[in-house]
Amino acid sequence: MSERRSIGQLAGAAPDPNQPAIVVDRVTETFRLFHERPSGLKERLYRMRRSSFTDFNALEAVSFTIEHGDSVAVIGPNGSGKSTLLKLLARILPPDAGTVLTNGRVASLLELGAGFHGDLTGRENIRLNGAILGLTRAEIAERFEEIVEFAGVRHLLDTAVRTYSSGLEVRLGFAVAVMVDPDILLVDEVLAVGDAEFQERSLERMRHFRDQGKTFVLVSHDLDAVRDMCDRAIVLDHGRVLFDGPVSEGVELYRQRVTSVAAPSVDRVRGSRRVAIDEVSLLGPGGELAVEIAPSTPLTLRVRLRAIEEVDVCSVGVVFSRGDGTHLYELHTTWQGVGVGPLAVAQEATVDVRFTARLLAGHYAIACSVTDVSGREAWAVVADAARFTVAPAPGGTGLVDLSATTAVTEGPARRMEGASRPIPLPRLQRRQARG
Amino acid sequence: MERADASAAVPGATRRTSLAIGGKLVELWRARELLDQLVRKELKVRYKNSTLGFLWSMLTPVLMTVVFSVVFTQIVRIPLTDFPAFFISGYLLWQFLQNSCQGAIHSIVGNGDLVKKVYFPREVLPLSHVLAQLIHLLLALVVLSPYLVYTRGFHVLLHLPTILLAIGLLTIFTSGLAMWFAGVNVVFRDLQELFVVIFQVWFYATPVIYPLALVRSQMGERFAWVATVIEWNPTTWFVELFRLGLYGPVTATGDVVSPLTDGAPTWPDPTSTLVAAGWAALMFVVGYVVFLRRARTFAKEV
């Protein structure tokens, strides 16, 4: 049996303040994916040695420590292992390798109204649900009024829950769940249900919990809620910890990652209809391919296109955007009075767009299009034609490099040696995290 | 500190296994409120939607008693006095066992959402079915006791300790079996299909509709193995123990024609009590260990 807990420790659920709230040490969780799951006796016997499966690590060597009073968000794309991690913390799943230690009473809100039974009344379900969440009879009795009040189900207390509306059922489930008064609260996406008022109330409840100095682990896709609720973020990707640090950086990293995964890669340059964009390259001042640059580097975007059929004069357009999709700058050659063509079949043309990347640290993408002169008809579009990264540099943070200088015009001043670094790019940290 | 790690189970590490079971029992004790609520739920759901609730659930045993009594006293003659009382004193226990296991076998798979989303000692799910059936059994006994007292005499009441002992031991046995079924059914879903067949055969291998004494005296050389099978069947011992208190001992002579002699309820001999206790303990430990091994990965497999 791999779940080891001494009896004495079981009896005393009070947290030990000298120990961290949660320690996850090199935890790996493996799921066995059967290609054709042999779930019956016959199949078992029949394909005793031949059952084909692949092992898939939902979590791989994940380690972190959470102190008492930390509010931590776990974010990452679907399938990155967030929910599995929460289940490990809630002891629903045992780790396949490594150790999970929790210190104090743990309550998990992985599902609201878990175990509600439609034939039982609201009153009976409150007792049942409370017991499922680990409340004692005395605790349920003590909090009963508060639960009824919070859920607003007083008039329906003795009615079978199957007659409740789904919204009401969720509210009742939440009301019971938040009455559990744990030292460590695990929340999985439950905030996403219910109407706006209910969401606000539940967020309020969570804030209250956090402000009491309780430990709080939240899994959510709602990045605004995450930023609001948590101080720290753990970003997971494919079962690995990509980032563990301040929530704002974690959220930013995740945003950029989502957009970079969603966009097609550069090598999928493809033309549509009348013109083909054969190649888009971003060149630095010396004509070399630019990938990572310093702020305000002069760059050239070289677009090579080829007519698939005979076309009249066309316009080449470029759109600059930040990793999260923020529209930064757009330009079409015709806006500057330059048209390309007319082109005969298979005739090629190359357009250079010269610009200065007055941008600060971050990831940026360039989209490229060929349209008719009026810009109404798109003849070729490449959504993610080129990408570049601006490296952090001293001088300022934000989005736009305003090239500001400072001067003390009155009063004493001192020249500082070794100017302090700006907020480093999350990517740099990501590299560090990967070791 | 709650600790969960991945150190694999070492075969032969009895001390750790017993420690794990000890810890689990403590955890189970701490989950008694949940167990209590689940048992209430079972009983409420079972009795709730009809005004006659509990009485309806008595319909099956009463009907079965009528049917078997007609068959075995009028058509096929088993020469026993008070055959209905004889049948009931075995059938009630059998029904408790079968219904408990039938409820328990689906208890993990049927509560998949709960198992995947909330942590609690998983054994409360099958055990809640056993306890709900136990309460049902006790209620049924109370309802039927006037009839049993009327037919078998007041000394039935004197043997209450024997009756309760038999029920207690069978509850332990059934708990183990119910956990085994619940745990194994998660991986071998065919088990629920086999269930009906297993229990059909098992029913006839248990002396519910016939007395064990008759088997012992009637089986000739060629079919001696049948008697052996029945004697090795653990449920035989619980039924015999229970029936001894509720109906009385049944003895038979080797001659087919002579009627079976039966006497007033009497006290059990220590040997058969020990055999029943042994089976109960063995089944409980085996069922619990198998269940706990399986329970670790329920959340992945349900």
Q: What is the pLDDT of residues A122-166, one digit of tens each?
A: 888 898 888 888 888 888 899 999 889 888 888 888 888 888 887
According to the model, what pLDDT value does residue B198 have? 93
**Of the given ranges (A25-39, B204-218, B252-266, B288-302), which has the lowest mean pLDDT?**
B252-266
Q: Does residue B15 belong to any structural domain of this protein?
A: no
Q: What interface predicted TM-score (ipTM) does this complex get?
A: 0.78
Q: Does residue A115 belong to any structural domain of this protein?
A: no
CA nearest B186 in A: which residue?
A39
Q: Does residue A165 belong to any structural domain of this protein?
A: no
On whether both A197 and A274 belong to a single domain, the answer is no
CA nearest B117 in A: which residue?
A110
According to the model, what pLDDT value does residue B237 have? 93
Whether B120 has a pLDDT exceeding 90, the answer reads: no
According to the model, what pLDDT value does residue B181 have? 95
B-contacting residues in A 32-51 (Cβ below 8 Å): 39-42, 44
CATH at A371: 2.70.50.60
On whether both A94 and A186 belong to a single domain, the answer is yes
On whether both A273 and A358 belong to a single domain, the answer is yes
Residues of B within 8 A of A91 (CB-CB) are 2, 4, 119
Domain boundary among the residues A201, A231, A260 is at: A260
On whether both A241 and A312 belong to a single domain, the answer is no
Q: Mean of the pLDDT values across residues B164-186?
A: 95
On whether both A26 and A91 belong to a single domain, the answer is yes
Number of domains composing chain B: 1
Residues of B within 8 A of A1 (CB-CB) are 9, 16-17, 20, 292-293
Q: Mean of the pLDDT values across residues B50-66?
A: 80
SS (H, E, C) chain A: CCCCCCHHHHHCCCCCCCCCCEEEEEEEEEEEEECCCCCCHHHHHHCCCCCCEEEEEEEEEEEEEECCCCEEEEECCCCCCHHHHHHHHCCCCCCCEEEEEECCCEEEECCCCCCCCCCCEHHHHHHHHHHHCCCCHHHHHHHHHHHHHHHCCHHHCCCEHHHCCHHHHHHHHHHHHHHCCCCEEEEECHHHCCCHHHHHHHHHHHHHHHHCCCEEEEECCCHHHHHHHCCEEEEEECCEEEEEEEHHHHHHHHHHHHHHHHCCCHHHCCCECCEEEEEEEEECCCCCECCEECCCEEEEEEEEEEECCCECCEEEEEEEEECCCCEEEEEEHHHHCCCECCECCCCEEEEEEEEEECECCEEEEEEEEEEECCCCCEEEEEEEEEEEEECCCCCCCCCECCCCCCCCCCCCCCCCCCCCCCCCCHHHHHHHHHC
According to the model, what pLDDT value does residue B118 have? 83
Tell me the shortest Cα–Cα distance from A128 to chain B, in angstroms: 5
Contact: B293, A40; criterion CB under 8 Å:
no
pTM above 0.90, yes or no: no
Does A10 contact chain B (CB < 8 Å)?
yes
Percentage of the residues of chain A whose pLDDT score is greater than 90? 7
Q: Mean of the pLDDT values across residues B56-81?
A: 85
Does A6 contact chain B (CB < 8 Å)?
yes
Q: Tell which wins on pLDDT, A5 or B61.
A: B61
Q: Tell which wins on pLDDT, A238 or B100.
A: B100
Q: Mean of the pLDDT values across residues B45-53?
A: 71
Contact: B114, A97; criterion CB under 8 Å:
no
Contact: B1, A95; criterion CB under 8 Å:
no
Which of B6, B114, B120 lies closest to A98 in CB terms?
B6
On whether both A244 and A374 belong to a single domain, the answer is no
CA nearest B12 in A: which residue?
A1
Residues of B within 8 A of A7 (CB-CB) are 22-23, 26
Cis omega (within 30 of 0) on the bond before A342?
yes
CA nearest B48 in A: which residue?
A119
Burial class (CB in 10 A: 0-12, 13-18, 19+), A65: middle
Q: Of A180, A176, A179, which Cα lies nearest the Cα of A105? A: A180
Q: Does residue A280 belong to any structural domain of this protein?
A: yes
CA nearest A29 in B: which residue?
B6
Q: Mean of the pLDDT values across residues B51-74?
A: 84
Whether A263 has a pLDDT exceeding 60, the answer reads: no
CA torsion sign for A15, A16, A22, A25 is negative
Q: Mean of the pLDDT values across residues B126-152?
A: 91
Angle, CA of A251, A426 and A95, to the nearest 5°: 65
Q: Does residue A84 belong to any structural domain of this protein?
A: yes
Whether A243 has a pLDDT exceeding 90, the answer reads: no
According to the model, what pLDDT value does residue B42 have? 86
- Report the C-alpha gap between A139 and A153 in whole angstroms: 19
According to the model, what pLDDT value does residue B252 have? 72
According to the model, what pLDDT value does residue B284 have? 95
Residues of A within 8 A of B3 (CB-CB) are 3-5, 9, 99-101
Q: Of A94, A85, A272, A261, which Cα lies nearest the Cα of A187? A: A85
The distance in angstroms from the start CA to the end CA of chain A is 34
According to the model, what pLDDT value does residue B289 have? 92
Q: Tell which wins on pLDDT, B199 or A169.
A: B199
Neighbours of B253 (CB within 10 A): 12
Band the pLDDT of B55: cuts 50, 70, 90.
Answer: confident
Whether A434 has a pLDDT exceeding 60, the answer reads: no
Band the pLDDT of A423: cuts 50, 70, 90.
Answer: very low
Contact: B118, A111; criterion CB under 8 Å:
yes
According to the model, what pLDDT value does residue B179 have? 96
On whether both A95 and A229 belong to a single domain, the answer is yes
Q: 């087919």: which residue's tokens? A: B256
Q: Tell which wins on pLDDT, B81 or B70.
A: B70
Contact: A119, B48; criterion CB under 8 Å:
yes
Which of B8, B17, B119 lies closest to A91 in CB terms?
B119
Q: Of A219, A368, A356, which Cα lies nearest the Cα of A295? A: A356
Residues of B within 8 A of A6 (CB-CB) are 23
Residues of B within 8 A of A97 (CB-CB) are 6
Percentage of the residues of chain B whose pLDDT score is greater than 70? 88
Contact: A103, B9; criterion CB under 8 Å:
no
According to the model, what pLDDT value does residue B92 have? 92
On whether both A289 and A383 belong to a single domain, the answer is yes
Q: Does residue A156 belong to any structural domain of this protein?
A: no
Q: Does residue B14 belong to any structural domain of this protein?
A: no
Strands (E) across chain B are located at: 2-5, 250-251, 261-262
Q: Mean of the pLDDT values across residues A99-104?
A: 88
Q: Does residue B119 belong to any structural domain of this protein?
A: yes
According to the model, what pLDDT value does residue A52 have? 66
Q: Does residue A428 belong to any structural domain of this protein?
A: no
Q: Does residue A250 belong to any structural domain of this protein?
A: yes
Q: Mean of the pLDDT values across residues B178-195?
A: 90
Tell me the shortest Cα–Cα distance from A28 to chain B, in angstroms: 9
Tell me the shortest Cα–Cα distance from B191 to chain A, in angstroms: 8
Contact: B37, A41; criterion CB under 8 Å:
no
* Summary mean pLDDT of chain A: 78
Contact: B36, A4; criterion CB under 8 Å:
no
Contact: A101, B292; criterion CB under 8 Å:
no
Structural domain span for residue B149 = 30-301
According to the model, what pLDDT value does residue B30 have? 81
Contact: A2, B114; criterion CB under 8 Å:
no
Q: Does residue B4 belong to any structural domain of this protein?
A: no
According to the model, what pLDDT value does residue B173 have? 97
**Of the given ranges (A242-246, A251-255, B115-119), which has the lowest mean pLDDT?**
A251-255
Contact: A39, B44; criterion CB under 8 Å:
no
On whether both A27 and A80 belong to a single domain, the answer is yes
Contact: B20, A95; criterion CB under 8 Å:
no
Whether A40 has a pLDDT exceeding 70, the answer reads: no
Whether A13 has a pLDDT exceeding 60, the answer reads: no
Which of A5, A42, A44 lies closest to B3 in CB terms?
A5
Band the pLDDT of A419: cuts 50, 70, 90.
Answer: low
Q: Does residue B8 belong to any structural domain of this protein?
A: no
Q: Which residues contact A222 (CB under 8 A, 6 or more apart)?
A: A191, A192
Angle, CA of A276, A277 and A278, to the nearest 5°: 100
Q: Mean of the pLDDT values across residues A301-324?
A: 85
On whether both A386 and A248 belong to a single domain, the answer is no
Residues of A within 8 A of B29 (CB-CB) are none
Q: In the numeric block, which tokens belong to residue A298? A: 């002069």
According to the model, what pLDDT value does residue A48 have? 55
On whether both A98 and A72 belong to a single domain, the answer is yes
Q: Does residue B9 belong to any structural domain of this protein?
A: no
Q: Tell which wins on pLDDT, A47 or A305.
A: A305
- Report the C-alpha gap between A417 and A423 in whole angstroms: 18
Residues of B within 8 A of A138 (CB-CB) are none
Q: Mean of the pLDDT values across residues A104-109?
A: 81
According to the model, what pLDDT value does residue B19 have? 64
Contact: A117, B41; criterion CB under 8 Å:
yes
Residues of A within 8 A of B111 (CB-CB) are 115
Structural domain span for residue A52 = 7-105+182-260
Residues of A within 8 A of B20 (CB-CB) are 1, 3-4
Whether B17 has a pLDDT exceeding 90, the answer reads: no
**Of the given ranges (A100-109, A259-268, A302-311, B79-88), which has the lowest mean pLDDT?**
A259-268
**Of the given ranges (A214-228, A417-431, B123-137), which has the lowest mean pLDDT?**
A417-431
Q: Does residue A146 belong to any structural domain of this protein?
A: no
On whether both A249 and A282 belong to a single domain, the answer is no
Number of domains composing chain A: 2
Residues of B within 8 A of A117 (CB-CB) are 41, 45
Q: Tell which wins on pLDDT, B101 or A425.
A: B101
Contact: A108, B188; criterion CB under 8 Å:
no
Total residue count of chain B as it appears in this document = 302
**Of the given ranges (A14-23, A403-412, B2-11, B212-221), which has the lowest mean pLDDT?**
B2-11
Whether A420 has a pLDDT exceeding 70, the answer reads: no
CA nearest A92 in B: which residue?
B119
CATH at A50: 3.40.50.300
Contact: A91, B2; criterion CB under 8 Å:
yes
- Report the C-alpha gap between A88 and A52 in whole angstroms: 26
**Of the given ranges (A69-73, A204-208, A264-268, A337-341), which has the lowest mean pLDDT?**
A264-268
Q: Does residue B274 belong to any structural domain of this protein?
A: yes
Reported as a single tens digit per residue, the pLDDT across A57-101 is 889 899 999 998 899 999 887 778 888 899 899 888 888 889 998
Band the pLDDT of A4: cuts 50, 70, 90.
Answer: very low
Which of B23, B49, B120 lies closest to A7 in CB terms?
B23
Tell me the shortest Cα–Cα distance from B141 to chain A, in angstroms: 27
Q: Mean of the pLDDT values across residues B191-206?
A: 92
Whether A187 has a pLDDT exceeding 80, the answer reads: yes
Domain boundary among the residues A260, A276, A293 is at: A260
Reported as a single tens digit per residue, the pLDDT across A87-96 is 899 888 888 8
Residues of A within 8 A of B194 (CB-CB) are 41
Does A16 contact chain B (CB < 8 Å)?
yes
Which residue in B2, B116, B298 has the most chain A C-beta atoms within 10 A of its own C-beta, making it the best mutation to test that interface?
B2
Band the pLDDT of B143: cuts 50, 70, 90.
Answer: confident
Which of A16, A44, A90 lies closest to B119 in CB terms?
A90
